[in-house]
Amino acid sequence: MKNSYLRKLQRRQSPNFLDFYSWVYSNSNSVCMHAFISLKICMNICLNKNKKQPTKFQASRGVNRKDLLRGVDSKFGERLLDEILDNTGVRLVDVSGCDTAKRALEEAVILPALNPSLFQGLRQPVKGILLFGPPGNGKTMLAKAVAHESEQVFLNISASSLTSKWVGESEKTIRALFQVAKNAQPSIIFIDEIDSLLTARKDNETEVSRRMKTEFMVQLDGASSSTEDRILIIGATNRPYELDDAILRRFPKRILIDLPDERARAELLHKTLAKHKMLDGLTDYDIRWIARSTDFYSNADLVALCKEAAMVPIRDMDRNKIAKTDGRKIRNLRVSDFKEALSSVKPSCNPKLMEELISFADRAGQK
Ligand SMILES: Nc1ncnc2c1ncn2[C@@H]1O[C@H](COP(=O)(O)OP(=O)(O)O)[C@@H](O)[C@H]1O
Ligand SMILES: [Mg+2]
């Protein structure tokens, strides 16, 4: 019953929006991406702990700490702003694969910013996106890339900053968070590892945790039902099936960030090795061989594999010569280095977790 409702909910969204989008996307994907990248005005609030000056971005948008804290309980608001981090320099082009998620984020963040008048009524941007999937495939990275490249204020909130053991404090912090987001809109709230905050309610749950979830839900509803507020909530989790059903419903787009397929693995290997100038000595055929040999490896596993392979030429060297060797004189990587690395770097993915994620994606998500 519930699942068919969710499926209908998703189907109802797809026709108009996606048809329109696929046209825009196929015709102007790279244009949008370039426009997006060139609009790289730092959007993070990025108030760092020691230096409480407004950032360049805040100054340029006329957003300052005082504006952000308008109507916010100062005790909780100040603490929140101090914990907001992030200006990592990750760009969307650095994230391999994840095409569905990139598209959803573009629809929700980038295209509406280019021409807000187009995105009204049925085309109103989605207000909740849940990124779920096995660890190490780019959920956090994607959110950071959006943070870096979009023009919007990005509030990166950890579960620990929202939870407090004191009765009433978590709710106040959550209210402060949503008020800050409202003051700063258009804005994005990113909650990584959202499962640690909002798992399904259990009988033995503490009063503090129950009240915190209830407040979160109330605020989420307020933000998602208002047609004027432009607050996007992005959640990321490895265990979406543990989330409270009521929370899931507030994330109408639920996107699986899956393990990379062979093509995506080859792309990541190529990109990683090229970035570190270690591609010389490996042919396209070698890269394809490595990609074929790394079924079930996550992107993070592949990066670990490259690091391990990069160590082999050093291990082959005479120890006495290491101190005097010029880095440029170290031999190029060979496919045999990867063969050796493959024996020690294994896929971290847990088959049971994958099964649960795929079944969740079939039931309630999109791939
Ligand atoms: N799609 C990707 N493209 C490039 N690198 C990736 C990708 N996914 C993961 N990585 C690498 O793995 C690391 C961990 O990724 P992360 O985004 O934290 O994974 P998740 O949040 O899904 O667990 C990143 O810092 C990056 O080095
Ligand atoms: Mg993560």
Dist. CA 234 → ligand 2 center (Å)? 12
Averaged pLDDT for residues 280-306: 96
Instruction: Please state which CATH number belongs to domain 262-348.
Output: 1.10.8.60
* Neighbour count for residue 283 (Cβ, 10 Å): 10
- pLDDT reading at 61 higher than 80: no
Residue bearing the bigger pLDDT, 297 or 75:
297
The token duo for 210 is 């129950």
Dist. CA 305 → ligand 1 center (Å)? 14
Residues near ligand 2 ion, CB 5 Å cutoff: 139-140
For ligand 1, atom 14: residue with the closest CA: 136
Distance from C-alpha of 105 to C-alpha of 102, rounded to nearest angstrom: 5
DSSP state of 327: G
Rg for the chain, CA atoms, rounded? 22
For helices 351-364 and 2-38, what crossing angle results, to 10°? 100
Mutate which of 158, 268, 299 for ligand 1? The one with the most ligand atoms within 8 Å of its CB, which is 299
Distance from C-alpha of 336 to C-alpha of 309, rounded to nearest angstrom: 9
| pLDDT tens track for 172-183 | 888 888 988 888
| pLDDT tens track for 216-227 | 888 888 887 777
- pLDDT reading at 148 higher than 80: no
Distance from C-alpha of 261 to C-alpha of 19, rounded to nearest angstrom: 26
What pLDDT does 8 receive? 35
Residue bearing the bigger pLDDT, 160 or 318:
318
What pLDDT does 15 receive? 31
- Judge if the upstream peptide bond of residue 54 is cis by omega within 30 degrees of 0: no
Contacts of 62 (CB under 8 A, 6+ apart): none
Residue bearing the bigger pLDDT, 336 or 364:
336
Most confident of 160-164, 218-222, 246-250, 335-339: 335-339
Dist. CA 95 → ligand 2 center (Å)? 13
Residues 236, 131 contacting (CB under 8 angstroms): yes
Q: Which amino acid is at 153?
A: V
Helix or strand or coil: residue 232?
A: strand
Q: Which ligand is nearest to the CA of 142?
A: 1
Distance from C-alpha of 51 to C-alpha of 322, rounded to nearest angstrom: 42
The token duo for 6 is 């969710």
Dist. CA 196 → ligand 2 center (Å)? 12
Residues 349, 296 contacting (CB under 8 angstroms): yes
- pLDDT reading at 31 higher than 80: no
Averaged pLDDT for residues 138-147: 88
Give percent of the chain with pLDDT exceeding 90. 30
- pLDDT reading at 46 higher than 70: no
Dist. CA 168 → ligand 2 center (Å)? 28
Nearest Cα to Cα of residue 13 among 119, 122, 118: 122
Distance from C-alpha of 232 to C-alpha of 125, rounded to nearest angstrom: 9
For ligand 1, atom 19: residue with the closest CA: 136
Mutate which of 137, 191, 261, 276 for ligand 1? The one with the most ligand atoms within 8 Å of its CB, which is 137
For ligand 1, atom 11: residue with the closest CA: 300
Atom nearest to 137 CA in ligand 1: 8
Helix or strand or coil: residue 163?
A: coil
Range in 148-157, 265-274, 294-303, 328-337 the model is least confident about: 148-157
What pLDDT does 344 receive? 95
Averaged pLDDT for residues 6-35: 36
- pLDDT reading at 36 higher than 60: no
What pLDDT does 322 receive? 82
Residue bearing the bigger pLDDT, 341 or 183:
341
Residue 273 vs residues 87, 105, 175, 292, 366: alpha-carbon distances, Å? 24, 27, 45, 17, 31
What pLDDT does 10 receive? 36
What pLDDT does 222 receive? 84
Dist. CA 145 → ligand 2 center (Å)? 13
- pLDDT reading at 362 higher than 80: yes
- pLDDT reading at 32 higher than 70: no
Distance from C-alpha of 52 to C-alpha of 357, rounded to nearest angstrom: 41
| pLDDT tens track for 87-137 | 567 888 889 988 888 988 888 888 887 888 898 888 888 888 999 999 999
Atom nearest to 133 CA in ligand 1: 22
- pLDDT reading at 268 higher than 90: yes
Dist. CA 139 → ligand 2 center (Å)? 5
* Neighbour count for residue 251 (Cβ, 10 Å): 26
The token duo for 111 is 């295209």
Most confident of 15-24, 200-209, 282-291: 282-291
Q: Which ligand is nearest to the CA of 192?
A: 2
What pLDDT does 201 receive? 66
Residues 180, 78 contacting (CB under 8 angstroms): no
Domain spanning 2-259+356-364, CATH architecture: 3-Layer(aba) Sandwich (3.40)
DSSP 269-296: HHHHHHHTT--TT--HHHHHHHHHT-TT
Domain coordinates of the chain in residue numbers?
A: 2-259+356-364, 262-348
